[in-house]
Structure 1
Amino acid sequence: MLESAPSWSEVLPTLLDVTRFRTVIAYNAPFDAGVIARHTRATGRLLEHLAEAGQWACLMERRAAWDGSGQGTRLGAAHRALGDCRAALELLELIAAGPA
């Protein structure tokens, strides 16, 4: 499956374009920001705006504040990229709708 996937060097310019002037929401933002930083450094590229802590919002932290679940609560998806994205979107919509 990954054999035909584009390289990080190919993906990064698009990621930088679509996230510029936007907040990046990730379920475990510190982890995801770290992975992106490591891969980007390995290519010799700059992280640009993604290096800024204020660029990221951690959905796991927001969830803990919203429902009292505590830090480290799993998202509940099958831990595959698409499933995680769908579960994160569903959680974000629930939080946006109001109190638990």
Structure 2
Amino acid sequence: MMDQRTVVKVRIMGDDYALRTEASPEHTKAVAEHVDKTIRAILHGSGTMETQKAAILAALQITDDLFRERAAMDDLTSDIKQLAAEIRPLLPPAKRGEDLGAA
């Protein structure tokens, strides 16, 4: 199987990075830009803070956002499953997705 990774050059906080990734260059650059903006926002709001500490706070903030989005997605999935369970009995038997031969 061929390795589909490419090298994408990005800049975060004035430092250049060559990232080896399977994601598209556009996606990788957007991710790096988001990280850069998050670190800069933390630095801007803190007055004087070391860049390394700002990067850690940015990582925490981004990870918190990810966990909240995952929880929201899980809630939405649960709501959809519940709605499907409520609607299924109202559908004709052929549309219910049930195994008709098991009865």
**TM-score (norm. length: structure 2):** 0.29
By relative contact order (CA 8 Å, sep 6+), the higher-ranking structure is: 1
Q: Which structure shows the bigger proportion of residues in strand conformation?
A: 2
